[in-house]
Amino acid sequence: MFSPEICDAIIRTPISFVNREDNLYWPAREDGIYTIKTGYFAAKGEFQSRGHGNPSTSDARRELWKEIWKMEVPSKIKSFLWKAAHDIVPVNSNLYKKRIAESPICQICTKEVETTEHALLLCEWTRAAWFGADCQCIPTTETVTEFGDWFMTIIQKIKSVGGEEENRRISKIGFLVWEIWKTRNQKVYQQQEINPSWTIKRAKLMKNLFWRIADKQINLKEKQVQRTMREVRWRPPPADWIKANVDAFFKRNTGKGAIAVVYRDNRGKILLGFTGLIQANSVTVAEALAIRQALIIANNLFMEKVLIESDNLKIIQAIKSKSPIGEALAIIQDIQLLLEQLPGRGITWTPREGNLLAHKVAKEAELGNLHSNWSMQPPLEILRIMHNETLSVTQSDSDPKEDGTGFGVNQTHKFGLKKKSENERSWRWVNDDLKAIRESFKETKDLKLQGPPKFQQDEDEEDVDGDEDAVDEDEDIADGLITVSIDFGTLSDEDISADLELFRVCFAC
């Protein structure tokens, strides 16, 4: 009855489960609202797709612009290359057409009409610059018809060779074209002598300087990303709430994917897990399906305090602001109705680093690697993610509690002690600031110190438990530096009292 394409489109159409009314939306706009502007461009595209007009030229220019945009050159060079490809740079032939220049002849060679191709590629001195440069491309009258076509051909040749530095080999051409244009302007408007070798050297200097700065910025961004990845973790819900992390794994070429919903308590323990295969039109629709499924499960199981968390910011903003997204309109309306009917539910956004478990579950479900009871017996990779996030929850628990010694129960302290001599049982602190240590041991009345109060924290020593082995003399250190390290986060009140007694013995003169 229907062709395979129409059947596929019908299957991918999102259907409302709650709101039974049909809605029309305009697919050429994200919000689904029709406008004259989008209607014009849609009609124009359909007209060209039927064989009318010549869309190949515009498509080629669009592809060239994509390549120019990816080049590692300053923005002004990208803009100039785009203008040169469209023949809108102020060369004499273009100025003559607009009656600005008296003659279209090149003012440098005084032999030929100065077109964009002539000024940048075919003039005698520019051909010398191309020959002396290391771009490995020498333009000739046989290979150059239009600058844009020539440049696209060079890009394709470089890409056919491949290699890690192909983008920078393309970018070298951009730097040289820019310096050739600058040299031409200096000759025409400032009467400076032309030297092709100096043009090549200036292009290299600009290239090296720009890439050096770009590399530093890339390294800085990578460090910032790594720092952000270390800082962003799964955030547990409040004590009496449940959090449902949702995500979708979607393949655009097939329109198929999977959604995942993982319910956890404030300690990171999995209470319930759900996965399902889907067919959708886009990632946005797939993510919306995952959020709706989480709300449906919460409604069916009468969960009262549930927080839905997704890493798709566009969907979360659309739900909270009640702004439409045309392709997912039916799903978002369902979500908004469910949230209104279930006042004890909330919805929030988290970066991908805070949603790793749901993302991994969705990916493994689409690949078919999960068994039916994966939430009870998680695979190794999912267990590893759960373990890391559980550790982050443990480390970010409530503020440290006071235990009577001035330390928090989750704090670890290291003290460096220096022995005065082998025959004396007296010790002295090795630190610049003893005040904090005195405050911490205010209850240790018989703490006695000898010598100038100096303290030195030894960060290389490993933490040890607070038993009698905590004080240990290192024979390899010539000056007799001894490190005492106690982890109060793992000790009971009796152990802490025993440790304080141990300090009294060690510090007694």
Residue 501 has pLDDT above 50, yes or no: no
What is the number of structural domains in the chain? 3
pLDDT digits (tens, 9 = 90+) for 305-330: 899 999 999 999 999 888 888 888 88
Q: Which amino acid is located at 501 in the chain? A: E
pLDDT of residue 99: 92
Looking at the fold, whether 250 and 202 belong to one and the same domain comes out as no
Q: Are residues 207 and 251 in the same domain?
A: no
Domain membership of residue 18 (yes or no) is no
Q: Structure pTM?
A: 0.52
Last residue in a domain, options 329, 363, 395? 395
Which comes out higher in pLDDT, residue 399 or 2?
2
Q: Are residues 464 and 330 in the same domain?
A: no
Quick one: 117 and 191 in the same domain?
yes
CA 46 from centroid of its chain's CA atoms = 36
Domain boundary (198, 213, 228) is at: 213
* Confidence (pLDDT) at 246: 95
Give Cα separations from 107 to 93, 103, 114, 180, 388 (angstroms): 11, 9, 8, 15, 70
Assess whether pLDDT exceeds 90 at residue 231.
no
Question: Between 23 and 381, whose confidence is greater?
Answer: 381
pLDDT at 53: 52
Question: Quick one: pLDDT at residue 51?
Answer: 63
Q: What is the pLDDT of residue 397?
A: 54
Q: Which amino acid is at 8?
A: D
Q: Are residues 348 and 389 in the same domain?
A: yes
The tokens of 347 are what? 């919805």
Same domain, 167 and 275: no
Nearest to 135 by CA among 114, 91, 165, 109: 165
Q: Give the CATH number, domain containing residue 346.
A: 3.30.420.10
Any domain includes 41:
no
Phi, psi of 271 (to 5 degrees): -95, -35
The pLDDT score that the predictor gives to residue 476 is 35
Based on C-alpha coordinates, what's the Rg of the chain? 35
Contact between 362 and 383 under an 8 Å Cβ cutoff? The reply is no
Query: With 90 as the cut, is the pLDDT of residue 175 above it?
Result: yes
SS3 content of the chain, % helix, strand, coil (to 5): 50, 15, 40
Provide the pLDDT for residue 465: 38
Q: What is the DSSP letter of 480?
A: -
Task: Indicate whether 308 and 428 sit together in one domain.
Answer: no
Task: Tell whether 436 and 490 lie within a shared domain.
Answer: yes
Distance CA 32, CA 327 (A): 7
Q: What is the pLDDT of residues 340-391, one digit of tens each?
A: 877 778 899 998 888 999 999 999 999 988 888 888 888 888 888 888 877 7
Look at 483 and 172; give whichever has higher pLDDT. Answer: 172
Please check whether residue 21 lies inside any domain of the structure. no
448 pLDDT higher than 70: no
| Residue 488 contacts residue 415 (beta carbons within 8 Å) | no
Q: Of the candidates 304, 400, 397, 389, which has an alpha carbon nearest to the alpha carbon of residue 353?
A: 389
In a shared domain, residues 370 and 460: no
Q: Which of 102-106, 155-159, 274-278, 418-422 has the lowest mean pLDDT?
A: 418-422
Identify whether 30 is part of a domain: no
Residue 115 is assigned to a structural domain of this protein: yes
Residue with token string 């003012």: 107
Span 292-311, mean pLDDT?
91
Residue 166 CA to residue 152 CA, distance in Å, equals 14
> Given a cut of 60, is residue 278 above it in pLDDT?
yes
* pLDDT on residue 184: 95
Q: Within this chain, do residues 298 and 362 fall inside the same structural domain, yes or no?
A: yes
Q: How far apart are the first and last CA of the chain?
A: 99
Give the whole-number percent of the chain exceeding pLDDT 70: 73
Same domain, 297 and 421: no
Which range of residues forms the domain containing residue 111?
56-213
CA distance 341 to 295: 11
What is the pLDDT at residue 83? 94
- 428/387 same-domain check: no
400 belongs to a structural domain = no
| Mean pLDDT confidence for 262-281 | 90
pLDDT band of 58, cuts 50, 70, 90: low
Whether 34 is covered by a domain: the verdict is: no
Length of the chain, in residues: 509
Q: Of 341, 363, 395, which residue is a domain's last?
A: 395
**131-135, 275-279, 349-353, 493-497: least confident range:** 493-497
The answer to whether residue 9 is domain-embedded is: no
